[in-house]
Amino acid sequence: MQKVNLTDYKVYGVMGETFELPSDYEVLGFLGSGAYGCVAAARVGNEVVAIKKCKQIFQSRTLAKRTLREVRLLRLLSHPNIIQLKKVLLPRYPNSYNSLYCVFQCMETDLASVIRSGQHLSDKHVLYFSLQLLRACDHLHDSNVCHRDIKPRNILVNANCTLKLADFGLSRIHAVEGDTRTVQMTEYVTTRWYRAPEVLLGWGSYGTGIDLWAVGCVIGEMVGRTPLFPGSDSTCQINLIVAALGKPSKSYISNIRKTAFSEMLSSLPDDDLSHKRKDIRAVISESSVTSYKNVEIPITPSADGVSVHCLNLISSLLVYDPIDRPGAKDCLKCKYFCSDNSYRASSSAECDPQKIPTMSTKVAADEFTFEKGRVTFDLLRCELLCEAKYYTQKEKEEQQQQQQQQQQQEVQEMKEQIDMVDDSSLIPSSGDLKELDIDAENCHQANKCMIL
């Protein structure tokens, strides 16, 4: 069994969780925790990073696949509004490890914390956060990736309003027509409050439209400061959505696989005003949640003063049929992001959707063959180890490149010094040189040695 020298590691206790890290990492404090791991801030060199400990990942295949899926996707995806996975630390025991440490760029907080706080969120804040979130979705969907768990807690932000989409453990490669290599998407996706109707109602299939529904919920939550559809269970969730959007069409109901929901929606009277679609202002204002995880929300839900273009964007995303929802690219071209306003004038280069560079490359389904069938733990362990080795090798190559650049710089500096010496105007005359005190006998002995 391979084992790294103990002297190369330090052990830290973080909120009851043990972090065993290489000695060049210094843990600074606790950042957060969840069902699948604990996150701590750490310093390595002059940089502060976030280290996520994915613990007991081989307790189940589901958890091991989730970890591998996120690590691999983040290696393949690169975008300013997607969290960067900087490194996966090589396990101390490569043949029998059960925990994995992933090093991410460090962000200051998440959007859920900002929404729950009492600080003011202007329309400009909502616009800029929405823009960056849709940029991330556009890149994902162009890359054939469906996030499936977009919610404020998975959206990380900094004080300068930089936004990064995180937590790709539930993501999937979106099935392309005729491609049998991609895995069938599961029914359980995203937190219930942000779950699209087609998932709740058991449609036969779904795609990237579920991400756009979640985006609509998130933007609405930023505006009203409370979740739009805070259902306590699936039935309650459907009732809240129906109360806001009205009764769905008969063709939509015919696609519902869950008989109980199909019969419930079919029984709703068509002429009942309570089952007609509401104005989005009313939906936001009627949000009923006044506390979140025992934390009081200090602001009363209201859409007053919000840009009409923002409300129109939310309305366009919160529709039953995913075909009727605009894609992320279409959203970026809507009037909300293209209208002439003071914020636009002050930072048009940053926000202009037309100036967003095209960086999307299709994520190959061959990278995710482990999703299909019953793979062994040994295979999953090996695949995760390969991901860690990729970052280790990449780091070595970068260090070698830096050394080569430094050597080239030193050679260039030496050449410049030689060129200066070759300049006759810089060579002193013999009269300016101080005489050297040369011992004739020592000089003679040195010459003999050189000849020998």
Token match 């960056």: residue? 132
Both tokens of 15, joined, read: 């909120």
Please state, in angstroms and rounded to a whole number, the distance separating the CA atoms of residues 372 and 357: 34
Answer positive or negative: Cα dihedral of 110, 116, 121, 123.
positive
Please state, in angstroms and rounded to a whole number, the distance separating the CA atoms of residues 54 and 102: 8
Please state, in angstroms and rounded to a whole number, the distance separating the CA atoms of residues 149 and 165: 10
Please state, in angstroms and rounded to a whole number, the distance separating the CA atoms of residues 213 and 196: 6
Token match 């696949």: residue? 65
Token match 């090589």: residue? 90
Cβ-contact 128, 78 below 8 angstroms:
no
R_g of the chain, CA atoms, integer Å: 30
Please state, in angstroms and rounded to a whole number, the distance separating the CA atoms of residues 259 and 376: 36
- The count of other CB atoms within 10 Å of the CB of residue 209 is 22
Please state, in angstroms and rounded to a whole number, the distance separating the CA atoms of residues 50 and 28: 10
CA 382 → CA 68, 100, 266, distances in Å?
10, 13, 51
Tell how strand 25-34 and strand 291-292 pair up: unpaired
Please state, in angstroms and rounded to a whole number, the distance separating the CA atoms of residues 341 and 322: 31
Catalytic residue selected from 149, 272, 279, 432: 149
Answer positive or negative: Cα dihedral of 273, 275, 276, 281.
positive
Cβ-contact 285, 291 below 8 angstroms:
no
With CA atoms as reference, report the closest residue to 75 among 409, 392, 400.
Answer: 392
Both tokens of 98, joined, read: 């059960």
With CA atoms as reference, report the closest residue to 230 among 300, 286, 277.
Answer: 286
Q: Is 149 a catalytic residue?
A: yes
Please state, in angstroms and rounded to a whole number, the distance separating the CA atoms of residues 67 and 168: 9
Catalytic residues: 149
